[in-house]
Structure formats: structure tokens, C-alpha cells
Amino acid sequence: MNSWREFIEAVYSARKNEGGLTSQPEFHSASTSHEIQETEGRLLFSFSKELKKLLMETNGVMEMLSVDDSEFFENQWLIWPVDMIQDENLEYQQQRQTDEAHSNRNQVLFFSSAGTDGILFGMRSCESTESPEVVAWYPIDNETVVVANSLSEFIDGWISGTISV
């Protein structure tokens, strides 16, 4: 893979747009290694090499949607920006302190949401792993399920629809 941007654009280009809906990625300014290190320190959690590389190319990827060739609008985050990763994970860590039933999620760094039922996507701690598995956390059942073997597999599967919740 040459770059994350090229990979994501290629996956969106290959996606079949149906029912008058068209989607495309919107990339944001790159994050810095300093921002990522600060967030890792606050969360006490190391990002995978894959996620760091993606965030240093684009600090978040927003899916843009168009209906019947109208103007594109923000649909949902494919990958959260660093500040959102920090804020969302800190919130879940604080909730965990008062809600022991959801202790499984403390072992996972969340980086995206399914947009339904509070389901979140994340990676388990992976300091020595280039490409850790991506899991979906289902808060109603407090269950984590592996959905992809890598971040690139997750992105491809989520955009193409081969991964669903």
C-alpha cells in the first residue's frame, strides 16, 4: 500500500453506489507524532503502527454522502481524529470506573463507531504488533467480537459492506 489516502479512495471508488446514494471520503489535515504521543500518554494505551501511520496522513476520515447527485454532506466518521479518539476513550474509561459490567472495553482503544446501538470499533493493546485485530464492542451484551484481522481489512470490509454489525 502506497498511502492510506490512496487505499481508502480506491476502496470507495470500487464501492457500488445504489439507490441514488453516492459516498466519498473526506480527509483531514495530518496529525503530528506529538499529538499522538500526548494522546497515548493520557489514555495509557499505545496506538498500533497502522493507526499511527493513518493518522499522520489524515487526522480522521469522514464519510461524505450525496443523495440523487445533490451536494455532499457529512455522514459519519470512518476513522475518528486524534482528539475524538482521546475524548471518546477517556469518557469510556471514566464510565468503566462506575460501571464494572463494561470492564471488557477498557482493554480496547476505540477509533470508530458503527453509528448504531452504541457499537464501537477498536483494537486491543498492541505495542509489539504492527497490525492488531479490529474488534466490535457491543455495549448491550458487553461483548467484543473480532471483525477484521487488520485496520486495512476493517476499512475495506466496512466500506464495501462485507463487515456489518
Domains in the chain, CATH or no CATH each = 4-160 (3.40.1580.10)
pTM of the model: 0.89
Confidence band of 129 (pLDDT split at 50, 70, 90): low
Dist. CA 5–CA 44, nearest whole Å: 28
Is the pLDDT at 143 greater than 90? The verdict is yes
Distance of CA 54 to the CA centre of its chain: 10
Q: What is the 3-state secondary structure (H, E, C) of 114-125?
A: CCCCCCEEEEEC
